[in-house]
Structure 1
Amino acid sequence: MSRQYTHAVALFFLALLGGCASKPYVVLVASPDGSTGAIEVRTAKGITRVDRKDHAVNLDGSSATSFQVAEPKLDKDFSAARAAQPALPKSYLLYFKTGGTSLTEKSQAEIPEVLQTVRERGPSAVSVIGHTDTVGSKAYNEKLGLSRARDIARQLQENGLQALELVVTSHGEDNLLLKTPDNTPEPTNRRVEVTVR
């Protein structure tokens, strides 16, 4: 079964004077997956830790405690910053039948979705990494992983892939999704990972 995922990042925005806020402040917002990190802000009043979504602290030292910022104010103060954020990478796992470069039917059906993602994002960097299970020698699997990655890259290009950069590599039997002993035919390890940045 294929998966799509994005890398989570904790984001914070700084509102500066100049029409967007009456006092400069920093606010912590959630990553696309809903998680947040934390920030510590040092002012004349001391260090304030902010670790809750949409909470902020003034940078002028007027307060040592954090406060919540309502969504309409965030939209008003940070619309330009939010619009300037690049899209997070999006990855697809495409799985193969055993011993060759034939995709499973389900994974073959996902090729158009990969292409659609690139079209929607505009010029993108695309990486294609081939992987294998542990059946066969390490050298053989390195070559098989590269053959799989090249085959997927070729399919993408033949179907209109427009990329700023296309990187094709193999990890062979390294970086298994499911750790197995040698000579184990594990379907989840027979894959190509396509990442659109």
Structure 2
Amino acid sequence: MKKSILIACCLAAMAFNMACGKKSMVMLAPDPDGSVGRITVANEAGSVDIDQANLATVIRSPEAAPRAPEPLDPAKVEALFGQVVANQPLPPLHFRLHFESDSVRLLPDSRRQLTEIVEAIEARSPTRVSVVGHTDTMGDKVYNVQLSLRRAITVRQLLIDRGIDAAFIDVVSHGQENPLVKTPDNVANAQNRRVEVVIR
């Protein structure tokens, strides 16, 4: 595949390769949510586009263009790729916790989410947890970097207090640089006062 197309494919859908001697098969599988991306399978001899789930192409040699995509029936998909699909990592889980203005105090609804977050981490253990702090655009940028770091550290400590191993948790501070809702400087926005927790 062309590099730029391969990157887009990795973001939009999963593609599986099967080596068969000198030939290769590439099939486009749906994402866990059922959505389907688009891939281009190419070599020096030509290319084909695939944009439907369970369509597959075969490349017989570097000198032969990929064949026109054909559908694989569910039994064949299972026989060829069942083990690969079964071994795919679970998709990341995302949680968003909000804070009082100019504070490291979680809002009540966000505090209640901590139980769900801990349960999700424990269900995937061992895992990696990213805790990323953010602020709105009120105040000084340097101060906001420090505030968002304190928010992230607060969430990290709340997770540790609930039994999550500190070694699994990474903390990052974005300050006001990656707002959920874009605003001019010095605009208070409750949606931007947050910590994003990503469980992989």
Same fold flag (TM > 0.5): yes
Residue 165 (structure 1) shift: 3.1
The answer as to 2:119 corresponding to 1:116 is yes
Where 1:49 maps in the other structure, the secondary structure is strand
Aligned positions of 1:65-80 closer than 5 A: 65-80=68-83
* Correspondence for 1:28: 28
Equivalent position of 1:4 in the other structure = none
Tell me the secondary structure at the aligned position of residue 123 of structure 1. Answer: coil
Please tell me whether residue 10 in structure 1 is matched to residue 13 in structure 2: yes
Counterpart pick for 2:180 among 177, 180, 186: 177
Does the C-alpha gap of structure 1 residues 37 and 170 become closer, same or farther in structure 2, counting only changes over 3 Å? same
- Using the aligned pairs only, state the percent identity: 33
After superposition, the Cα gap between the structure-2 partners of 1:63 and 1:143, relative to the gap in structure 1 and judged at 3 Å, is: closer
Checking the alignment, whether the CA contact within 8 Å between 1:134 and 1:184 is kept in structure 2 is yes
**Does the C-alpha gap of structure 1 residues 63 and 183 become closer, same or farther in structure 2, counting only changes over 3 Å?**
closer
Among residues 182, 189, 195, which one is paired with 1:192 in the alignment? Answer: 195
SS in 2 for 1:124: coil
TM-score by length of 1: 0.84
For 1:58, the equivalent position in structure 2 comes to 58
Matched-pair contact (CA < 8 Å) for 2:42–2:65: no
Gaps of 5+ in 2: 1-9
In 1: Cα distance, 2:184 partner to 2:68 partner: 54
Tell me, in whole angstroms, the C-alpha distance in 2 between the residues paired with 1:182 and 1:14. Answer: 48
Asked whether the 8 Å contact 1:123–1:162 carries over to 2, the reply is: no
Q: State the Cα distance separating 1:48 from its structure 2 match.
A: 2.7
Q: Is the 8 A contact 1:26 1:56 kept in 2?
A: yes
Stretch deviating more after TM superposition (162-171 or 73-82)? 162-171
Counterparts of 1:173 and 1:110, CA distance in 2: 23
2:95 to 92, 95, 104: 92
Give, in angstroms, the shift of residue 43 of structure 1: 8.4
Which of 55-64 and 69-78 deviates more?
55-64
* RMSD (Å) for aligned C-alpha atoms: 2.4
Which residue identity is paired with 1:128?
A: V
What is the alpha-carbon distance in structure 2 between the residues aligned to residue 189 and residue 58 of structure 1?
A: 48
Distance 1:83 1:163 in 2: 29
Tell me, yes or no, if the aligned pair for 2:13 and 2:38 is still in contact at 8 Å: yes
Kindly state the Cα deviation for residue 186 of structure 1 after the two structures are TM-superposed: 0.3
Matched residue count: 186
Query: How far apart in 1 are the matches of 2:140 and 2:149?
Result: 14
Pick which of 35-44 and 121-130 moved more.
Answer: 35-44
Q: Residue 160 of structure 1 is aligned with which of 159, 163, 167?
A: 163
- Measured against aligned partners, the alpha-carbon deviations of 1:89-145 in whole angstroms (never above 9, x if no partner) come to 222111112121111111111111111111111211111111111122112211111
**Cα distance in structure 2, aligned partners of 1:99 and 1:68:** 56
Runs of 4+ in 1 over 4 A off after TM superposition: none
TM value normalised by structure 2: 0.83
Shift of 1:8: 4.6
1:166-196 Cα offsets, whole Å, 9 max, x none, are 2112111111111112221100000001111
Higher RCO (CA-CA < 8 Å; seq separation 6+): 1
